[in-house]
Amino acid sequence: MKKIQNYVNGKWTEGTGEGVPMFDAITGEVVALSDTQGLDFGEILHYGRTKGSEKLRKMTFQERGNMLKSLALYLMKKKAAFYELSYRTGATKVDSWIDIEGGFGNLFANASLRKLFPNQSYHVEGDAIDLSRGGRFMAHHIMVPKKGVAVHINAFNFPVWGMLEKCATNWMAGVPAVVKPATNTSFLTEAVVREIIASGILPEGALQLITGSARTILDTVESQDVVTFTGSATTGRLLKSHKRIIDESVPFNMEADSLNASVLGEDAIPGTPEFDLFIKEVRNEMTVKCGQKCTAIRRIIVPQNLVEDVQIALGKALSKVTIGDPRLKEVRMGALVSKDQVTEVRERVQELSKTASIVYGDLDKIETIGADAKKGAFLSPILLREDHPFTNLAVHETEAFGPVSTIMPYKNLDEAITLAQMGKGSLVSSIATYDNKVAKDYVVNAASHHGRILVINRDMAKESTGHGSPLPNLVHGGPGRAGGGEEMGGMRGIKHYLQRTAIQGSPTTLTEITGIYQQNAEYKEAEQHPFKYHWEDIKAGMSLKTHNRTLTDSDIINFANLTWDHFYAHTDTTSLDGSIFEKRTAHGYFIIAAAAGLFVYPNKGPVAANYGLEECRFLRPLYHNDTIYVRLTCKQKIDRDVASAEHPSGIVKWYVEVFDALTDEMVAFATILTMVEKKQEVFVE
């Protein structure tokens, strides 16, 4: 029997043991053997921290993002083979799409985040903080890649997505990964990792794979490492309290099984679109991935007068779900991951049914098409009904990780919120209502207990991604029982792998460190007009002081006529009494326009276009006959790789300070953005 291998220390390696069989969820046949015996986890983690970290941490966010994008494009071309293997985990085509292409989608989405980071290997976070009266002492936060390795201990249900949603963030941060998928579906993870390694897109050591049991993997984790865990709450708690995790203060992100609730609003009566959407959502959540989703709806909270209606409608919807060989087009639900999992789910249902009654499905009977129900890990969807959810607590405590869910009644919205929070923290909750007041009440009062809340109604239904889909740019995780962790979430996810450090010093020093011009830093007088430089030659701090301009009475009147902005302060000097203005006042936009007139270099050059304005403040009024001058200073450069072969360009942010020429007092400032061309390569034939 074929043994799958581990990719560690730069090579594919076979375990030295007999191997643990991994079973085909549909036929019960052995797919391959998993074997991790003989692996030295300490050595593997060390290899990641040294070889893997070496190159990754020096790459810029832009380079890392492009690497992720290339990898996603490469893997997309190989996807057919992954689907074939995915069927063997019991997954249908739709289930596999979520796992496989959902995983690649995560790489794409994280790749796009490169635009939100500076064009360097570390991040500069938030605004600068002035710490002194004289403006000579300040602080800024920077975030550098941790010098450790990301250890991902994953669950069986998403062998591809589970790996990539986590790795996308640590790679973006510049940190290598060691992935340990759950044993029983690791054959699919291994196939994807084989392609990743073969692509040569990642630097060596950026990804290592342990395809099976790794009970001692945490024994050598160090303080610069980050551990993530997805799986059962029991294992999660065990690993989170591992001595080494505590001794070394290793960040531990836990995402555990939670009893997610969906609420039907009182307005969503039968016949409304919201009622139908609710039924569809619950049916999907019960049957997609055979209910083996950490985000699946386990508790169906409905107004007490609608319990019968919901039960009947759900029963009907579930009866249309065909079960069997996931390769068949007509099959809507495949098998659970293994027969052991079937036994596990059965036991949980038996616990639940001590007080709740089964109102749809049978634990011992199932009809399948194209597959032998006895050989595969099949189970009918099971719908339960618990009429006393405030006293019978099993429904809030027992998770049957399969196609199982329980209906329970509520009398008013407060009760619905209380029931939802009796799950003691979940990854996601949802509510179907077309009453936005109800939606607001639910969201504001229930949010403390849920990582994400979806409001379902007719307006969003067509484009909704659904209750069960964690999205790369949204936080995924939840409080309490859900583990208290937080994954993905756009930039937030990446920041889990960066060390935030407050840097204090002079504005000039901080300009050098952050790559962003800080107010009061020394100007670097430009040798020629800054707009004459190409993108590559512009540096933060490069500065130009312009000549003076006096703002005349007729300038202000002309500007008012030109723009139709006839605000009294500019046009009616008789009405200034009692206002903050003393004389005819220049329009703020005139000051900005006049500033541009002073700093713009008129000839054709590398500055391709004005790209916008980010911040703008008028610090005090300017009156007719006041004279101004401007300081134009490069604040920051943002690289971009927009496919414009003829004129590749980057964005330059310019800090524009407007001064009163008489007193040298700053009277206005703004940050303007220009698109600046990069140098063109000259081809000589």
> How near is the Cβ of 290 to ligand NDP at its closest, in Å?
12
If we measure between CA atoms, which residue out of 8, 47, 61 comes closest to residue 497? 61
Q: Which is nearer to ligand NDP, 204 or 248 (CB)?
A: 248
> Among this protein's residues, is 616 annotated catalytic?
no
77 part of the interface to ligand NDP, by CB under 6 A = no
> How near is the Cβ of 29 to ligand NDP at its closest, in Å?
19
> How near is the Cβ of 154 to ligand NDP at its closest, in Å?
5
400-419 positions binding ligand NDP, by CB under 6 A: 401
- Dmax (CA) for the chain in angstroms is 96
Q: Where does 213-366 have alpha helices with state H?
A: 233-240, 243-247, 273-287, 307-319, 339-352
Q: What is the Cα–Cα distance from 57 to 509, expressed in whole angstroms?
A: 23
> Among this protein's residues, is 255 annotated catalytic?
yes
Cβ atoms of 60 and 119 closer than 8 Å: yes
Number of residues that bind ligand NDP (CB under 6 A): 25
If we measure between CA atoms, which residue out of 612, 617, 572, 567 comes closest to residue 587? 567
* The only residue of 5, 6, 157, 228 in contact with ligand NDP, by rule CB under 6 A: 157
Sign of the dihedral defined by the CA atoms of residues 266, 272, 274, 276, in that order: positive
Q: Which is nearer to ligand NDP, 184 or 585 (CB)?
A: 184
351 part of the interface to ligand NDP, by CB under 6 A = no
Q: What is the Cα–Cα distance from 242 to 89, expressed in whole angstroms?
A: 31
Distances (CA, A) of 544 to 541, 594, 678: 10, 16, 21
Q: Between helices 161-173 and 93-112, what is the axis angle to 10°?
A: 10
If we measure between CA atoms, which residue out of 117, 77, 335 comes closest to residue 201? 77
Measured in whole angstroms, the distance separating CA 79 from the mean position of its chain's CA atoms is 23
Stretch that binds ligand NDP, among 78-86, 227-235, 580-588, 613-621 (CB under 6 A): 227-235
* The only residue of 344, 415, 435, 660 in contact with ligand NDP, by rule CB under 6 A: 344
235 part of the interface to ligand NDP, by CB under 6 A = yes
**Beta-bridge partners for 130:** 138
Please identify the residue of the shown chain whose CB is closest to the bound ligand NDP. 231
Stretch that binds ligand NDP, among 95-103, 231-239, 444-452, 496-504 (CB under 6 A): 231-239
- The single residue of 294, 399, 486, 677 carrying the catalytic annotation is 294
> How near is the Cβ of 273 to ligand NDP at its closest, in Å?
31
Stretch that binds ligand NDP, among 23-31, 230-238, 278-286, 446-454 (CB under 6 A): 230-238
Q: Which is nearer to ligand NDP, 157 or 284 (CB)?
A: 157
Stretch that binds ligand NDP, among 11-19, 79-87, 149-157, 531-539 (CB under 6 A): 149-157
- The single residue of 101, 165, 255, 285 carrying the catalytic annotation is 255
List the strands of the sheet with 404-410, edge to edge: 357-360, 382-385, 404-410, 297-303, 260-264, 429-432, 453-456
> How near is the Cβ of 21 to ligand NDP at its closest, in Å?
13
Q: Which is nearer to ligand NDP, 102 or 621 (CB)?
A: 102
Q: In this structure, what DSSP letter does residue 663 have? A: T
> How near is the Cβ of 490 to ligand NDP at its closest, in Å?
21
DSSP secondary structure, 44-106, as one string: HHHHIIIIIHHHHTTS-HHHHHHHHHHHHHHHHHTHHHHHHHHHTTT--HHHHHHHHHHHHHH
Q: How many Cβ atoms from other residues are within 10 Å of residue 394's Cβ?
A: 17
* The only residue of 224, 232, 464, 473 in contact with ligand NDP, by rule CB under 6 A: 232
Sign of the dihedral defined by the CA atoms of residues 89, 92, 96, 102, in that order: negative
Going residue by residue from 170 to 189, which x/- string records binding to ligand NDP, judged by CB under 6 A? ----------x-xx------
Cβ atoms of 627 and 550 closer than 8 Å: yes
231 part of the interface to ligand NDP, by CB under 6 A = yes
Query: Tell me, what amino acid is at 234?
Result: T
Q: Which is nearer to ligand NDP, 239 or 638 (CB)?
A: 239
> How near is the Cβ of 222 to ligand NDP at its closest, in Å?
17
Q: What is the Cα–Cα distance from 414 to 224, expressed in whole angstroms?
A: 44
Q: How many Cβ atoms from other residues are within 10 Å of residue 321's Cβ?
A: 16
Q: What is the Cα–Cα distance from 5 to 7, expressed in whole angstroms?
A: 7
374-403 positions binding ligand NDP, by CB under 6 A: 399, 401
> How near is the Cβ of 183 to ligand NDP at its closest, in Å?
4
Going residue by residue from 301 to 340, which x/- string records binding to ligand NDP, judged by CB under 6 A? ----------------------------------------
> How near is the Cβ of 156 to ligand NDP at its closest, in Å?
4
Going residue by residue from 251 to 290, which x/- string records binding to ligand NDP, judged by CB under 6 A? ----xxx---------------------------------
Stretch that binds ligand NDP, among 155-163, 430-438, 506-514, 656-664 (CB under 6 A): 155-163
**Could you give phi then psi for residue 368, rounded to 5 degrees?**
-125, 155
If we measure between CA atoms, which residue out of 142, 133, 141, 143 comes closest to residue 520? 133
Stretch that binds ligand NDP, among 11-19, 55-63, 152-160, 570-578 (CB under 6 A): 152-160
205-224 positions binding ligand NDP, by CB under 6 A: 212-215, 217
Q: Which is nearer to ligand NDP, 123 or 396 (CB)?
A: 396
> How near is the Cβ of 419 to ligand NDP at its closest, in Å?
21
Beta strands in 90-218 (DSSP E): 123-130, 138-145, 150-153, 177-180, 207-209
Q: Which is nearer to ligand NDP, 213 or 520 (CB)?
A: 213
Catalytic residues: 255, 294
Residues in contact with ligand NDP by CB under 6 A are: 153-157, 180, 182-183, 212-215, 217, 230-232, 235, 239, 255-257, 294, 344, 399, 401
